[in-house]
Amino acid sequence: MGDSFFLYVYLLFADTLTGVANRKLEARLKAGKEDPNRINERRGQTPNIRPEGEVIWFHAASVGESIALLGLIENIVEERPLTNILITTGTTASANLINTRLPKKTIHQYVPLDVGKFVCGFLDHWKPNLAIFTESELWPCLIATTHAREIPLILINARISRKSFSKWKWVKGLFSSILSKFDIILCQDENTATFIRKLSKSKIDPKVVGSLKESAPPLPFSEEDRAVISNQIGSRPVWLAASTHEREELMMAEAHEHARRFSRRLLLIIVPRHPNRGKKICSDLRNLGWQVSLRSAGEEINNYTEIYIADTFGEMGLWYRISSISFLGGSMTEVGGHNPFEPATLGSAILHGPHVWSAAEAYEELGKVKASLQIKNPEELSQAIVDLLNPDTNASMAKSAWELSSKEAEASSQALNEIFKVLDHMGGN
C-alpha cells in the first residue's frame, strides 16, 4: 500500500465526523476544557476579520510552544511591517497566556478540530500565505488541506521523543504522508532528525538547528508584583517548585521539611502546572499541618507562611525572578519535564528529577556545564536546596545556566532565515 492510502482513509473519516466532533466539543465545554465564548473557533469560525495583505499562520499546541514563537513573531513583524500574524493554539491555558503577550499585528484563534468542514471553514476565512507548525502538533486533515491549497508549509522546532517514535512506527505510512506535505523541516536535535528519516519517505531532508525554546525572550513580569512579593518575603530564603504535577507537591513538601531543619525561615513557593489544582494542593498540605497561603484566594505571604501556592496564569517570569533556586516539575513523575531555559535565562539555579525526556538534550547541556542538577528523591532534593542556600554555590550554578542560555540564539536565527527565504520566493512585502 502506498503511503497516501493511510492519509486517504483518515481524510475520508475526517469528512464524515462533524456530528461526532460537535458532541466532543459539547462534552469538553461541560468539563471546563473549552472557552464557552470562543467555542465556534474550534469549528473553524471567527468574528475576527482577515486583515488585508500577507498573513503568516503559526500553530502551536501548548503554552511552552506558544511562548517560544513570540520572539520569532516579533522579529518577523519588525523586518516585514506589512505582514500580519495569525497564531492558533489548542488549550485554554495557552490562549489565556498568549492573549496577554500578543505582539503587534498578531491575532490569536483556537485551532479548529481536525474535521474537514471545520478545517475548510478556517482556511476559507484566513487564506494564509504561509503556514508554520511547531514541534509534533501534526493534524493530518489540517496539514493535507493546507497543502492542497498550495499554501507553503514549514515545520519548525520539530521534536519526536523515543516514546513518540515508537507510537508513530505503527502508522508509519500516515506519518510519512503528513511530513511529505512540508517544504521545510527544522529539528530541535539530531535524534528527531534521525527518527524523521526513519519514518518518512519525504524528499525534504530535516535540518538540525536547535530549540526555539532556548532562544525565546525572557518571560515577562510585573515590577509592581515583584515589589509586593519581595516585601512580603523580606529577608527569608526561598526556593521554587515550578510547573509541578500531581504527586510532586507532596514530594516538595517532604524535601521542604528536611531543608527547614537547616533553615527554619525557609519558604517554598509552589506553582502548579495546572492552576486549577491550587485549592486541592492547598487543602492537602494544610491537612498535613503546613501553614499555606493561596494566591488565587488573595492570601499574602506572612511570617507564618511555610508554603505559598501561586495558582495563577502567566506569572512564571515573576516567580523565577523571586527565587534563585528552581526545581522544575514534571520530572519526578512520567511527564517528561518542562523547558529548563525559562529559569536559565533569568539566572536561576536549576534542579530536576530523572524524567526529562521531553527536553533531554537541553538538560544534558545544562548538566555538562554544572548549570543544573538531577535529583532522585526528596532527600536528595532537600540536600541540594541546602547547598544552594550558600550564595557562592548558587551564583556559580545560576551564572552557568545564564551563560549557556545566552548562547542558544542560533535556532531562532536559522528559522527566521528559512521563513524569509520562502516569503521572498513568494514575493509580496
Three-state SS annotation for 73-129? HHHHHHHCCCCEEEEEECCHHHHHHHCCCCCCCEEEEECCCCCHHHHHHHHHHHCCC
Does the global pTM surpass 0.75? no
Residue 102 within any structural domain of the chain? yes
Residue 218 within any structural domain of the chain? no
Least confident stretch, 16-25, 162-171, 200-209, 289-298: 162-171
Residue 95 within any structural domain of the chain? yes
Residue 216 within any structural domain of the chain? no
325 and 198 in a common domain: no
Q: Which of the 8 DSSP states describes residue 295? A: G
Active site residues: 65
261 and 195 in a common domain: no
309 and 394 in a common domain: yes
Average pLDDT over residues 409-421: 82
Q: What is the pLDDT of residues 168-226, one digit of tens each?
A: 777 788 888 899 999 999 998 888 999 889 888 767 889 998 878 766 678 889 999 99
How are strands ordered across the β-sheet holding 184-187?
106-110, 84-89, 55-59, 130-134, 153-158, 184-187, 207-208
* Domain of residue 388, residue span: 223-407
Q: Which of the 8 DSSP states describes residue 42? A: G
Strand partners, 176: none
361 and 397 in a common domain: yes
Exposure pattern of 153-174 as b/e (b: 16+ CB <10 Å)?
bbbbbbbbbeebbeebeeeebb
255 and 147 in a common domain: no
Measure the CA angle with vertex 243, ends 410 and 111; round to 5°.
Answer: 70
- Supply the CATH number for residue 332's domain: 3.40.50.2000
Average pLDDT over residues 387-410: 86
Strand partners, 253: none
243 and 175 in a common domain: no
18 and 83 in a common domain: yes
Average pLDDT over the chain reads 90
Average pLDDT over residues 81-85: 94
248 and 155 in a common domain: no
Residue 319 within any structural domain of the chain? yes
DSSP for 263-286 reads -TT-EEEEEESSGGGHHHHHHHHH
Q: Could you tell me which residue, 216 or 308, shows the higher pLDDT?
A: 308
Looking at residue 216, what is its pLDDT? 67
Listed in sequence order, the residues at least 6 apart from 216 whose beta carbon sits closer than 8 Å to its beta carbon are 67, 68, 70, 71, 341, 342, 345, 412
- Supply the CATH number for residue 34's domain: 3.40.50.11720
The answer, yes or no, to whether residue 1 has pLDDT greater than 50, is no
Strand partners, 240: 269, 326
199 and 232 in a common domain: no
Share of the chain above pLDDT 70, in %: 96
238 and 200 in a common domain: no
**What stretches of 159-228 adopt beta strand conformation (E)?**
184-187, 207-208
The total domain count for the chain is: 2
Share of the chain above pLDDT 90, in %: 62
How does residue 429 score in pLDDT terms, banded at 50, 70 and 90? Answer: low
330 and 189 in a common domain: no
416 and 396 in a common domain: no
Residue 46 within any structural domain of the chain? yes
Q: Could you tell me which residue, 249 or 347, shows the higher pLDDT?
A: 249
The answer, yes or no, to whether residue 428 has pLDDT greater than 60, is no
Q: Residue 211's closest CA among 370, 339, 345?
A: 339
